[in-house]
């Protein structure tokens, strides 16, 4: 049976599934329930400075988008960091860590960008026995207006500076949580590394307005007729998060920097994808906030069964396995040629492949043959774009079939070349590197 024990920057947990710093981890009551359900670790809801705690709005904090059966696809929140007293949180953290020594407990922290503030809080956190700290440089709403959260994460110099203070003032591993609300995720990641951080975690939520109420014309969630952008998360953000994780995993400057993957992890499969792209573990929030803590049981058994089936013995066997396959567009093999193929037995004749190809792509799929509705790919027109595969409602009905070297590509009238060739050497590229004579 696969070993899914996790060791992330020296923090050990029985599995790689942590609850992210968020409402589910705001107090001992929830965290204990989570541990009982099987979660490997938690990042406690972000702590602020000593003193009067922040206050939250007293109206709706969350907005969402749904599929047709009210399946929650994306969630947005305008909740701030913990609104409980710092000492209460610290006391509970200490108690929980004592009672659950095998689970990871990481403290998320957000205090002003002043050395004194960090210097003051770190010993207090350290005293709880927490396994590490996560610097919340990610939340895009509310706290960012006060110069914290994403406001810090958007300035690499600040990230580096604060990370350095933290490494200086605590023995605990330092994880920097990054905001995706930035043009190139590699810069903040590099800054974290330069500052000496042990790891980064990402993504935090994406600035968002989930919807507009068309009666009141207020953005949702609406507080007395007004709305403010929130942080977006859930299944809808996973592709964005996967890319950002991969960018950091394959960047020459940050390669090897441990990553805790966050963003729309809902199933074991999502988690496996994050791990494959280079995350050392994953953090989950929306799935728990949608279904409760029990979802982790599916994640644990799913991941473990898949690993058994594929012969992966431990997480190390899968972490980063897909990273080398992420490359720049310019290095993609332009001599790789695939054509869509429709399995006529599986086809239910909805015609969607035809109409999207006809209206929006390459006019490569028939609709009618000999007076009968019939959907078939015309190889001499098909560019292999995959749109038909994506819109087909029957999984596996349309597949992309690669042409073997030497086979004729009917669209170009040329045989498929066996040689790998990319844009960098393509004759149409004005910047093409001419092969040495």
Interface residues toward another protein, by CB under 8 A: 67-70, 348-352, 354-355, 367-368, 373, 393-394
Cα 214 to chain centroid, rounded: 31
Q: State in angstroms the smallest separation of the CB of 214 from another protein.
A: 10
Residue 347 falls in the annotated catalytic set: no
| Closer residue to another protein in complex, CB, 223/356 | 356
| Closer residue to another protein in complex, CB, 368/421 | 368
Q: For residue 408, which phi and psi values (nearest 5 degrees)?
A: -85, 130
Q: State in angstroms the smallest separation of the CB of 216 from another protein.
A: 17
Q: How far is CA 194 from CA 160, 265, 331, in A?
A: 6, 28, 29
Q: State in angstroms the smallest separation of the CB of 294 from another protein.
A: 24
| Closer residue to another protein in complex, CB, 284/397 | 397
> What gap in Å lies between CA 421 and CA 107, rounded to an integer?
49
Token digits of residue 161: 């500076």
Q: State in angstroms the smallest separation of the CB of 347 from another protein.
A: 9
| Closer residue to another protein in complex, CB, 51/67 | 67
| Closer residue to another protein in complex, CB, 345/437 | 345
Using N-to-C axis directions, what is the helix angle for 295-310 and 28-37, rounded to 10°?
40
Q: State in angstroms the smallest separation of the CB of 68 from another protein.
A: 3
> What gap in Å lies between CA 227 and CA 221, rounded to an integer?
6
Polymer length in residues for the chain: 437
| Closer residue to another protein in complex, CB, 70/433 | 70
Q: How far is CA 233 from CA 77, 287, 289, in A?
A: 9, 10, 11
Element (H, E) at 388: helix 387-391
3-state secondary structure 92-151: HHHHHHHHCCCCEEEEEECCCCCHHHHHHHHHHHHCCCCCEEEEECCCCCCHHHHCCCHH
Query: Tokens 């049976």, residue?
Result: 1
Running DSSP on this structure, what letter comes out for residue 223? B
Active-site pick, 113, 139, 166, 353: 139
Cα angle for residues 290, 291, 292 (degrees, 5° grid) = 110
> Is residue 297 within 8 Å of residue 37, measured between CB atoms?
yes
Cα angle for residues 314, 320, 325 (degrees, 5° grid) = 135
Q: State in angstroms the smallest separation of the CB of 341 from another protein.
A: 19
Which residues are catalytic, by number?
139
């Amino acid at each position: 049976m696969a070993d899914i024990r996790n060791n992330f920057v020296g923090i050990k947990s029985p599995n790689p599934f942590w609850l992210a710093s968020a409402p589910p981890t705001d107090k001992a009551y929830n965290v204990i329930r989570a541990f009982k359900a099987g979660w490997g670790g938690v990042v406690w809801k972000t702590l602020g400075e000593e003193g009067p705690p922040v206050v939250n709005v007293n109206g709706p904090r969350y907005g969402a988008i749904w599929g047709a059966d009210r399946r929650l696809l994306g969630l947005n929140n305008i909740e701030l960091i913990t609104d409980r007293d710092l000492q209460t949180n610290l006391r509970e953290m200490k108690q929980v860590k004592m009672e659950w020594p095998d689970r990871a407990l990481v403290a998320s922290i957000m205090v002003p960008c002043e050395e004194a503030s960090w210097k003051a809080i770190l010993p207090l956190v350290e005293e709880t026995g927490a396994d590490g700290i996560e610097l919340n440089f990610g939340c895009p709403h509310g706290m960012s207006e006060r110069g914290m959260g994403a406001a810090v994460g958007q300035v690499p110099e600040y990230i580096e500076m604060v990370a350095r203070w933290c490494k200086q003032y605590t023995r605990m591993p330092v994880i920097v949580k990054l905001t995706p609300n930035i043009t190139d995720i590699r810069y903040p990641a590099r800054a974290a590394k330069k500052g000496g951080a042990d790891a980064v975690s990402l993504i935090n939520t994406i600035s968002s307005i989930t919807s507009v109420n068309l009666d009141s014309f207020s953005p949702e969630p609406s507080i007395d007729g007004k709305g403010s952008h929130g942080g977006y998360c859930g299944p809808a953000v996973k592709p964005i998060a996967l890319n950002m994780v991969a960018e950091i995993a394959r960047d020459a400057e940050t390669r090897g920097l441990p990553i805790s993957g966050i963003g729309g992890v809902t199933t074991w499969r999502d988690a496996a994808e994050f791990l494959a792209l280079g995350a050392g573990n994953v953090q989950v929030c929306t799935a728990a906030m949608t279904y409760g803590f029990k979802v982790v049981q599916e994640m644990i058994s799913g991941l473990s069964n898949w690993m058994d089936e594929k012969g992966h013995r431990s997480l190390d066997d899968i972490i980063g396995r897909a990273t080398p396959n992420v490359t720049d567009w310019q290095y993609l093999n332009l001599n790789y040629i695939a054509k869509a193929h429709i399995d006529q037995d599986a086809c239910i004749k909805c015609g969607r492949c035809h109409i999207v190809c006809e209206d929006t792509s390459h006019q490569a799929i028939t609709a009618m043959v000999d007076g009968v509705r019939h959907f078939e790919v015309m190889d001499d027109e098909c560019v292999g774009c995959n749109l038909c595969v994506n819109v087909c409602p029957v999984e596996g009905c349309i597949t992309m079939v690669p042409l073997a070297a030497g086979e004729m590509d009917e669209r170009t009238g040329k045989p498929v070349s066996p040689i790998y060739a990319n844009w960098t050497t393509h004759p149409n590229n004005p910047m093409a590197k001419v092969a040495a004579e």
